[in-house]
Amino acid sequence: MSKLTTHVLDTAKGCPAANIALRLYHGDILLCSAITNADGRCDAPLLSGDTMEAGIYRLEFDVADYFRATGATLPDPAFLDTIIINFGIADATSHYHVPLLVSPYGYSTYRGS
């Protein structure tokens, strides 16, 4: 089944990142917002089935708020506040998974499975 999912891991603590607010956009249109659960995932796919369309998308993750809530000491302003990942969906019949591995001073992403 076609769907878009995400997963956030806190690489500084070596655990899933719970309670990160995120938003998904297609162009300038906000499609959905969610908060990661205790496993660092959203409770439902961000897109699935007929809502999957080819195109350019943007995921925004509010990581400074997350790190502050966990008690991390951050400078003011934080080095990373909102992480923005622009990515493309070429095949709307496929599963796209966009993981985010994050610490207060760096992040990485890739197309997962």
The CATH number assigned to the domain holding 28 equals 2.60.40.180
Here the tokens at position 99 are: 């993981």
Q: What are the tens digits of pLDDT across the range 48-97?
A: 999 999 999 999 999 999 999 999 999 999 999 999 999 999 999 999 99
Do 16 and 8 touch, CB atoms closer than 8 A?
Answer: yes
Q: What are phi and psi of 38, to 5 degrees?
A: -60, -20
Do 101 and 9 touch, CB atoms closer than 8 A?
Answer: yes
Q: How many domains does the chain have?
A: 1
**pLDDT at site 113:** 87
Q: What is the pTM of this model?
A: 0.96
Q: Which domain holds residue 7?
A: 3-109
Compute CA distances 21 → 65, 71, 77, 83, 95, whole Å.
Answer: 9, 17, 18, 11, 22
User: Is residue 56 left, alpha or beta, with left meaning phi > 0 and alpha meaning psi from -120 to 50?
Assistant: beta
